[in-house]
Amino acid sequence: MQIISELSSFTPERETLLTIGVFDGVHLGHRQLISRLTQRAAEGNFLSGVVTFNSNPKAVLSPKTKLARLTTVEERVTLLKNLGVDLVVPLTFTKEVAALSAREFVLYLRRYLKMRGLVIGPNFALGRGREGNAATLQSLGQELGFTVEVVKPLTVESTLVSSTAVRAALARGDMKTTTKLLGRYFSLSGPVAGGFERGHILEFPTANIQLEPEQAIPEDGVYATLAHVGDKVYQSVTNIGVRPTFGKGERTVEVHILDFKGNLYGQRLTIEIVERLRAEMKFAGPQELIAQIRLDVDQARSILEKPLAGAKHVG
């Protein structure tokens, strides 16, 4: 079975405390749980570990369900390791994994990852039919010799912090709420692809970030962003949408990097989205659009002065 192959590729040096989940976005709720995990692991001289999934189990169990992804597996691994986790184990979630009983799953964790304890959220469940809830896992723990600790959920300004709440804030372009829930700026990353080359004509050259279809993106509009190019961070203005002034096309993410000269084609570009400036608009012609972009750039410079001074690389 694939799960055995993937788990057996990790050989922890000593016993572990684990948490399990998708951890999409690695938001503040996830960070609270990870903080407790690493604290408890240090107290018991265990390794701290996160078992995550390459794809969201909901998408595997309900293929027709379209679930926007906040972070790639690679981004999640980086973010989790930056929180001080010793071990991050990405598993491929399949129907075979979904069919495992809770007992079978934890026995695999005991055997291959030397699990001595689980730290989980209150609504966590694993195993066939979500049978492995907190009560079931605590019972299994008493039988098989591992501990289970349940961490309370986190609320921020009366909002329960969850990946669903982050997606909802993104969908309405509410970057202030998104940032509060994530504890960082939301980021997008991808290779720079060829576009329509209108940016040079409009005096504002842009880099078109190519994203995976399942990537979650904010509501269409113009945003003040920070662009990471190599070891440097630049102020930038990003348009997300269909460019209605030139006739609606495919949705794109086009980044105009302020005070930057160079060719980014084929390189990987990461942007952090700080604040929404305005909705995407249809203008009478290029000159009217140019005038508005100049206003956007001025507004973005004003907004980004402080974030740029304290900018750190994403992840």
* Contact criterion met (CB below 8 Å) for 236 and 227: yes
Paired tokens of 111: 């055997």
Helix/strand/coil percentages in the chain, nearest 5: 35, 25, 35
User: From CA 61, how far away is CA 118, in angstroms rounded?
Assistant: 24
Burial of 310 (0-12, 13-18, 19+ CB in 10 A): exposed
The Cα-based distances of 153 to 27, 79, 122, 158 in angstroms read 12, 20, 7, 12
* Contact criterion met (CB below 8 Å) for 54 and 73: yes
Paired tokens of 200: 């040079």
Chain mean position to CA 213 = 15
User: From CA 207, how far away is CA 192, in angstroms rounded?
Assistant: 6
For 243, list phi and psi in degrees, rounded to 5.
Answer: 55, 65
Q: Scan for tokens 């723990």, then name that residue.
A: 141
Q: Where are the alpha helices (DSSP H) in 69-117?
A: 73-82, 95-98, 102-113
Choose the catalytic residue: 219, 254, 272, 280.
Answer: 254
* Contact criterion met (CB below 8 Å) for 18 and 113: yes
Q: Is 149 annotated in the active site?
A: no
Other C-beta atoms lying within 10 Å of the C-beta of residue 72:
16
Pairing of strands 47-53, 16-20: parallel
- DSSP tag of 244: G
Catalytic residues: 254
